[in-house]
Structure 1
Amino acid sequence: MNKVVTSEPVSVWDLHAPLGEGPVWVERDQALWFVDIKSHKIHRYDPANGDRKSWDAPAQVSFVLPIESGGFAVGLKTGVARFDERDGSFTPIATPEPDKPNNRLNDATVDPHGRLWFGSMDDGEEAITGAVYRLGDAGDCVATTPLVAITNGPAVSPDGKTLYHVDTLGSIIHACDINAAGMLTNPREFVRIPYGQGFPDGCVVDSEGCVWVGLYNGWAVHRYSPAGELLEDVKFPVSAITKIAFGGADLKTVFATTANKHVTPDGKDQEPQAGDLFQFQVSVPGQPGHLIRIGV
């Protein structure tokens, strides 16, 4: 495959977020939505006019994904809630881990069937207590993967048949088949990030089925073929790239969230843009986004 990145990443919002995460392009209002987990913030960025808006969340907030009937599903520390951007309200939907007070929710995605997939993790980033869940028809949460300390991804292939999820501390991107019942089968290792290249964070899949992953402490984003071959290594001026999203009318504008919670006072001169929202262009579009239709 030919290289698809056509411009270098540039900062478009100097947020200096401790932990920017979860970017998603929302087609119905042609804007990028994302969160800052540690600042308890939900953000919206309109690239057409540069408009920026922010909302306070009642706790750490890890993802924001659109619901078909309106509003958003968000991942809070203890569970999934419905967020109404019109009045800033939060209404609980599901609490997957009431017995794990030291866990919080993390990354998420929506598959072509309108199902929400999301992960949990140890908030201290050490204990092996996190798993990937699927929100069920009745708002129940179905655990679908073995436990790890930090889950990331998940992401789904264009045909909706493969789910990728990340064991960040293990430096592994896993792949699984999604069966007709919405359960994961045939688990396998997709890619292992070599030591010293950073830790795999959030991942997404483009329209060619290639997997993009942000590298925490890796100064880059990687693009892998469906066979797991490294195709591109996109360099950033900051070390912690948490996740990307494809946006714009043609889905060829890539937005990337980053973090600065790891930057020491001595390191600020080395990466002054850490925690900003970045943007670059590609020649191969991402997938159109899906709306949550099940369990909400």
Structure 2
Amino acid sequence: MREASLVIDQKAELGEGPSWDAGRGVLYWVDIDGFKLMEYHPSSGRHYERKLDQHVCAAVPREKGGMMLALRDGFYSYDLVSGEKEAIIDPEADKPGNRFNDGKCDPSGRFWAGTMAVERGTGEAALYRLNKDMSLDTIFDSVTISNGLAWTEDGSMMYYIDTPTKKVMAYDLNAVTGEITGKRTAITFQEGSPDGMCMDQEGMLWIALHRLGKVERWNPQTSERLETVTVPAQRTTSCVFGGEDLKDLYITTARGGLSEEELREEPHAGGLFHIRTDVPGMPTYSFGG
């Protein structure tokens, strides 16, 4: 068992959604409740914040430049230079009590992102897919807290977490159409709440366990836990691989909801953490539209 080290003492209310831009050598991550998009440059140690006007729930690079965002009220494009954002579609305009949560792109460049009910309503949310032509598909509804997503390198399988189920589900994916079939349980957790996740190049999943202060590496084919990385912040939220060799695992955390006593025990809660891994990870895929 190894422990991740602090990189940025951000004190984010809800640090989440890390993604790696290999072209720029930049890590993006968000503070959902702080309305912030953040940018970390490992080569220089520089760290920037961009304040938006609403919850910033997921951020991914875009092939043509800039970013794609899942904000509280839908999908947006975002210009990193001007700071201008453009609304694309809000699939839940009729559900003001919901907001978007985790999201990322598949190997084909489609942006998948799901929602959650802010008041924790069971089954009130959904998972969506924004296609490269900006059309939108509802993948399934009756979700409670849409979270981690991961795909195999060939795009033939997808893994997905709806946190309260305490399960990672596996699906067969048609890489051309984006259709998913063959739903089955890959991993069931007895403790902790599975949150964000990513995949390494051996096909193993790295899963952040909220309230347990750790990220675990699992084999989704055998449901075997292979490795545990501890984090000195109990509210671990997500993780992503970065760096030139994709062996830098970055881990996001949150501090919102912690008591004063808990914050004294965890002074770096809400920070960005890092650990080197032996196995390289899968890249962050960019939006292709």
TM range (shorter): over 0.9
Contact 1:242 1:258 in 2 (8 A): yes
Alpha-carbon distance in 2 for matches of 1:164, 1:131: 15
Q: CA deviation at 1:126?
A: 3.0
Q: What does residue 188 of structure 1 align with?
A: 184
Structure 1 moving runs of 4+ over 3 Å? none
Determine whether 1:130 maps to 2:111. no
Name stretches of at least 5 consecutive residues in structure 1 with no aligned partner: none
Superposition map of 1:5-84 within 5 A = 8-84=3-79
Q: What does residue 285 of structure 1 align with?
A: 280
Residue 169 of structure 1 aligns to a residue in which SS?
Answer: helix
Q: What does residue 87 of structure 1 align with?
A: 82
Find the partner of 2:253 among 235, 251, 258: 258
Q: What does residue 198 of structure 1 align with?
A: 192
Superposition map of 1:233-244 within 5 A = 233-244=228-239
Superposition map of 1:112-151 within 5 A = 112-151=107-146
Q: CA deviation at 1:8?
A: 2.8
Q: Which moved more, 1:67-76 or 1:155-164?
A: 155-164
Alpha-carbon distance in 1 for matches of 2:110, 2:287: 6
Q: Give me the identity figure in percent.
A: 35
Alpha-carbon distance in 1 for matches of 2:127, 2:152: 16
Determine whether 1:221 maps to 2:218. no
Alpha-carbon distance in 1 for matches of 2:253, 2:206: 15
Contact 1:176 1:184 in 2 (8 A): yes
Q: How many corresponding residue pairs?
A: 287
Find the partner of 2:172 among 153, 173, 177: 177
Alpha-carbon distance in 1 for matches of 2:207, 2:121: 21
Change (3 A) 1:144 1:290: same
Q: CA deviation at 1:138?
A: 3.8
Q: TM (normalized to structure 1)?
A: 0.93
Alpha-carbon distance in 1 for matches of 2:150, 2:53: 26
Q: Which moved more, 1:126-135 or 1:73-82?
A: 126-135
Q: CA deviation at 1:37?
A: 0.1
Q: TM (normalized to structure 2)?
A: 0.96
Q: CA deviation at 1:137?
A: 4.4
Q: What does residue 209 of structure 1 align with?
A: 203
Contact 2:251 2:273 in 1 (8 A): yes
Find the partner of 1:107 among 92, 102, 105: 102
RMSD: 1.3
Find the partner of 1:155 among 115, 133, 150: 150
Q: Which moved more, 1:35-44 or 1:117-126?
A: 117-126
Contact 2:170 2:186 in 1 (8 A): yes
Q: CA deviation at 1:125?
A: 2.4
Contact 1:158 1:205 in 2 (8 A): no
Q: What does residue 91 of structure 2 align with?
A: 96
Name stretches of at least 5 consecutive residues in structure 2 with no aligned partner: none
Alpha-carbon distance in 1 for matches of 2:149, 2:246: 20
Deviations 1:164-223, CA, capped at 9 Å, x for gaps: 1111112111111112421110111111110xx310001111111111110110111111
Alpha-carbon distance in 1 for matches of 2:270, 2:156: 33
AA aligned to 1:239 is Q
Q: CA deviation at 1:252?
A: 0.4
Contact 1:158 1:206 in 2 (8 A): no
Determine whether 1:246 maps to 2:241. yes
Residue 284 of structure 2 aligns to a residue in which SS?
Answer: coil
